[in-house]
């Protein structure tokens, strides 16, 4: 069957797949563009499912702010290699997911994946199509949406791998931005020492007590040492107890008091945080590829 170049071009634009794959699909569906697109989507789903088990620990952090600057969404979208993380289609997808998270404010990651992008596809459909096109496992790992209400919202992205959002009551936009930058740099786990769970405090006290007892001091001295070190340790975990990155002589608590402000919420995402990365032997990988290529050549029938 004769398939026009224009039909192939249209299908490529719709699916993002290669020219030969598009032509083959059009031949199979007798030139029906919609049927060909559906066929390729099914084929793309199969390819995506096969890649789903592969570790995706690279990627980007995307942030989308509302027009009035009062709310924002942050997302982590992962891929397998930093090469793909720099690819324009991948980054555009991450930004589209952040925009959708902001507009839809979904209750769960599942709801976000099921929601529709401006193109009419769901986030999940677009993700699978991108897997088929790029050839790597791609995943939307997490998202968060913050709303500053009557206060200010700060957003900061360091490169493409670390992002932070902070909402502040009082203060101004400059303070909110500085606090977002601080959160990105210093990685606080809690807002205040009072927010730290009792089991975390107990474990920290236990560790510090063992350390102090090993220094051979009297019990009453050990107790004072432990409490002093515990306060310092808890301050390092909590945002307001940390020294401000732009002025280490000033604590975040002091900075906030000077501006008559308070942090109401914050989020910090770092690409791949908590994902166990598989360590690849690059030399072995290359040798395996060479062997595979050699074996294929040997199995090719000799042409006369």
In a domain, residue 240? The reply is no
Question: Is the pLDDT assigned to residue 302 strictly greater than 60?
Answer: no
Spatial separation of the C-alpha atoms in residues 71 and 146, rounded to whole Å = 6
Which residues, in sequence order, are CB contacts of 10 under 8 Å at separation 6+? 33
Residue 30, domain CATH: 1.10.8.10
**The pLDDT of residue 40 is above 90:** no
Residue 189 is assigned to a structural domain of this protein: no
161 in a structural domain: no
pLDDT at residue 145 greater than cutoff 50: yes
Structural domain boundaries, residue 68: 54-147
Number of H helices, E strands in the chain: 12, 8
Q: How many domains does the chain have?
A: 3
**What confidence score (pLDDT) does residue 282 get?**
47
Angstrom distance (rounded) from CA 186 to CA 237: 9
Has residue 298 been placed in a domain? no
Partners of 77 in the beta sheet?
A: 60, 140
Domain end: 14, 30, 51, which one? 51
Would 268 be classed as within a structural domain? no
Q: What is the CATH number of the domain that holds 80?
A: 3.30.479.20
Statement to judge: residues 128 and 139 lie in one domain: yes
Give per-residue pLDDT as tens, 199-222. Answer: 999 988 888 888 888 888 888 888
Q: Is residue 179 part of a domain?
A: no
């Amino acid at each position: 069957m004769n398939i026009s170049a224009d039909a192939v071009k249209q299908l490529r634009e719709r699916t993002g797949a290669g020219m030969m794959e598009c032509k083959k699909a059009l031949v199979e569906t007798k030139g029906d563009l919609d049927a060909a697109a559906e066929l390729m989507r099914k084929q793309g789903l199969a390819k995506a499912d096969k890649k789903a088990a592969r570790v995706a620990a690279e990627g980007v952090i995307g942030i989308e702010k509302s027009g009035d600057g009062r709310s924002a969404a942050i997302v982590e979208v992962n891929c397998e290699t930093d090469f793909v993380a720099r690819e324009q289609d991948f980054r555009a997808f991450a930004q589209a997911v952040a925009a959708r998270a902001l507009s839809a404010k979904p209750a769960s990651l599942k709801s976000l994946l099921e929601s529709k992008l401006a193109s009419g596809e769901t986030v999940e459909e677009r993700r699978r199509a991108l897997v088929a096109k790029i050839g790597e496992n791609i995943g939307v790992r997490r998202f968060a949406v913050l709303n500053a209400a009557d206060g200010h919202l700060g957003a900061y992205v360091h490169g493409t791998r670390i992002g932070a959002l902070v909402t502040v009551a009082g203060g101004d936009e400059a303070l909110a931005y500085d606090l977002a930058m601080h959160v990105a740099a210093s990685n606080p786990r809690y807002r205040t020492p009072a927010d730290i769970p009792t089991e975390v405090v107990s474990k920290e006290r236990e560790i510090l007590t063992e350390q102090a007892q090993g220094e051979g001091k009297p019990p009453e001295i050990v107790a004072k040492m432990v409490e002093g070190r515990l306060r310092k340790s808890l301050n390092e975990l909590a945002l307001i107890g940390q020294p401000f990155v732009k002025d280490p002589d000033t604590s975040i608590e002091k900075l906030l008091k000077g501006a008559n402000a308070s942090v109401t919420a914050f989020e910090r995402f770092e690409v791949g945080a908590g994902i166990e990365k598989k360590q690849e032997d690059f030399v072995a990988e290359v040798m395996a590829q060479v062997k595979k290529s050699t074996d294929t050549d040997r199995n090719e029938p000799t042409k006369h």
